[in-house]
Each structure stands twice: as C-alpha cells, then as structure tokens.
C-alpha cells in the first residue's frame, strides 16, 4: 500500500474536500484524485461519496481511517526509533502551541533550543490548546505546549511547567472596579467576555460559578486572550485573564477566598516513540519547571 496515497486519503477525510487536501499536501486537485483512485483500486472499494461539492466517507472509508492513522504512525515511529540510534539531535520537530503560550512563555525556550540544536528544523503550529490536543492524539504533532486539560485523555501524558494564576478583570471605569469588596454573585450579574465554550480555560472558570449555583452572563466570546483584554479595557465587559497579562489597561477584582489558576505545560502521546529533538526540547521545558519553582 502506497503511503502517499494514505496521506492523501487522511487529508481529504480531515478537510472534507479534495481541494483542501491538495493545499495541505502541496498538490493539484487532479493529483490528489489520482492518488485516491489508485488507493481505491488497490483496495477494490470506494472510499468517498462525491455529491456535487460535498465529499463524505463511505462505510469502507470510515473503517479505513483509524487504520490509516495507525499505519502512518507506526511508520513514523519506526523512523524515529532508527534515527534515535545515532544519538544526533537533528531532523524535524513538529510542535503545537497556543497563541498565548507561544507569545508569552515559549520565546526563551525556543531561543535556547535553536541555538543549541541548529540541525533541528522546527515546525511550529499555533493552535487553540484543544485543537493541539487532537493533533497529539492523531500523531500529527510530536509535542504540544498548551493549557493542560482538567481531565486528560488516558493516552496523553501531561507534564505541568508553569502555574498560571487567573484574575477577574474589568476596566478602571467599570462599576465593579470602584467597590471595595465584590462577590461572585454580583460579578455574575454583569456582562462578561469569555474564552470559547470549547476551551479548557472556559471550563475551569465556569466550574467556580457552578459550585455556587451561578452562571456567568456571557455576552461575547473569543479564544484570543489579547482580544479579550482589549474588550475589557474599553469597558465592554468583565473577564478572567492570566495575571501575567495584567497592566494599567485593566483592573483586577480580588474576591475573598477565591483562587483561580490553570496549569500550562506540555503533552505527548504515551504510545509514541519520541525523537531525540523532542527529548531535548522536553529537557529545556523541564528546566523551566525548576526556574518557575525557584524563590524570587
């Protein structure tokens, strides 16, 4: 079975179109179609139904998809295991990370890594933490540096690196900013801008309201923390932001006996052989844990 054909099959299944798969694989649409035709001929089954512009997996396609992932992951795993025998830190490292961590936490680590291991080609994908999680599960990324899930998948190993305290924030002119003491119940009555409902941070914050039988009044949502900060700063709503992002643009609201925090760190698939490059990157992240824990 041709591995290039399997890659084309997976790309179409994920994008839902031949043109999208072509863009991902840097191929023309006729070239992608040719690969699928060859694969269907090899297997003697039809893998996709094509109804106008809509493309969907047939029953045979749905049966092949998890096996295709498995076949390509085993091949990649074998390549890494053999390359690791040389002891060299080289090759390609596919790293997924969230925009916030990529901007605010990773630069010193990336700088140290590229200087120490110039033979490694870094493929950095900026994704939402939840999407990066799926990239690890499907074997499309070797490491992901993200907001860690409250309830991790059994096939994912999560290693905390940074403790990330969160604060309730408003603009300096907001009604809540002028009060000496604020309750969670009072905050819940005001409009809020939240990370999207699919995000780990959203679930972490919402749980604190649910414990007290409350629900935040969410009027807007976005997955970009910098955008949330802007909307808070102009007085549109309150929100929750990492303490590291606080400055004169927003004012923190301190609630008695309320401590919000999330864990930032890296994840990997427990059944995947890691490259020497990935292990070297993990060592630098582990050093960050020591630095983060050191007294100021």
CATH number at residue 118: 3.40.190.10
The domain in which residue 19 lies consists of 3-81
Asked whether residue 140 falls in the same domain as residue 282, the answer is yes
Asked whether residue 254 falls in the same domain as residue 269, the answer is no
Choose one of 47, 81, 115: the last residue of a domain.
Answer: 81
> What percentage of residues in the chain have a pLDDT greater than 70?
97
Number of domains in the chain: 3
How many C-beta atoms surround the C-beta of residue 93 within 10 A?
Answer: 23
Asked whether residue 174 falls in the same domain as residue 243, the answer is yes
Q: Residues 265, 98, 128, 162: is their CA dihedral positive or negative? A: positive
DSSP string, 174-199: SGGGG-S---HHHHHTSEEEE--TTS
Contact 8, 39 (CB under 8 A): yes
pTM of the model: 0.73
Model confidence band, residue 232 (pLDDT cutoffs 50, 70, 90) = very high
Asked whether residue 109 falls in the same domain as residue 232, the answer is no
CA-CA-CA-CA torsion for 267, 272, 278, 283, nearest 10 degrees? 60
Asked whether residue 70 falls in the same domain as residue 142, the answer is no
Choose one of 31, 47, 81: the last residue of a domain.
Answer: 81
Asked whether residue 62 falls in the same domain as residue 187, the answer is no
Asked whether residue 142 falls in the same domain as residue 181, the answer is no
Asked whether residue 180 falls in the same domain as residue 98, the answer is no
How many C-beta atoms surround the C-beta of residue 122 within 10 A?
Answer: 14
In this predicted model, what pLDDT tens digit does every residue of 177-203 receive, in sequence order?
888 788 899 999 999 999 888 888 898
Element (H, E) at 240: strand 239-242
The span from the CA of 222 to the CA of 233, in Å, is 15
How many C-beta atoms surround the C-beta of residue 215 within 10 A?
Answer: 10
Asked whether residue 257 falls in the same domain as residue 170, the answer is yes
Contact 84, 78 (CB under 8 A): no
Choose one of 81, 103, 131: the last residue of a domain.
Answer: 81
Over residues 68-72, mean pLDDT: 86
Asked whether residue 171 falls in the same domain as residue 255, the answer is yes
CATH number at residue 13: 1.10.10.10
Strand intervals (E) in 87-230: 91-97, 120-126, 143-147, 156-170, 191-194, 217-221
């Amino acid at each position: 079975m041709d591995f290039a054909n399997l890659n084309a099959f997976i790309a179409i299944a994920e994008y839902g179109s031949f043109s999208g798969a072509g863009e991902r694989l840097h191929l023309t649409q006729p070239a992608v179609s040719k690969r699928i035709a060859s694969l269907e001929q090899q297997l003697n089954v039809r893998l996709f139904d094509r109804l106008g512009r809509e493309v969907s997996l047939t029953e045979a396609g749905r049966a092949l998809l998890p096996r295709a992932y498995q076949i390509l992951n085993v091949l990649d795993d074998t390549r890494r295991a053999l390359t690791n025998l040389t002891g060299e830190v080289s090759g390609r490292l596919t790293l997924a990370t969230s925009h916030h961590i990529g901007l605010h936490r990773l630069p010193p680590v990336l700088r140290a890594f590229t200087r120490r291991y110039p033979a490694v080609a870094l493929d950095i994908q900026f994704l939402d933490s939840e999407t990066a999680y799926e990239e690890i599960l499907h074997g499309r990324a070797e490491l992901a540096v993200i907001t860690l899930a409250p309830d991790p998948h059994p096939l994912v190993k999560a290693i905390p690196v940074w403790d990330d305290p969160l604060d309730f924030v408003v603009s300096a002119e907001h009604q809540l900013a002028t009060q000496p003491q604020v309750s969670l119940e009072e905050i819940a009555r005001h409009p809020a801008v939240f990370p999207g409902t699919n995000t780990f941070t959203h679930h972490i914050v919402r749980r604190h309201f649910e414990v007290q039988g409350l629900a935040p009044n969410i009027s807007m949502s976005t997955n970009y923390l910098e955008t949330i900060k802007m909307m808070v700063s102009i007085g549109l709503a309150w929100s929750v932001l990492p303490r590291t992002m606080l400055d004169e643009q927003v004012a923190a609201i301190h609630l008695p006996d309320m401590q919000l925090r999330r864990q930032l760190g890296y994840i990997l698939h427990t059944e995947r052989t890691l490259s020497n490059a990935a292990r070297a990157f993990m060592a630098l992240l582990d050093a960050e844990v020591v630095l983060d824990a050191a007294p100021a």
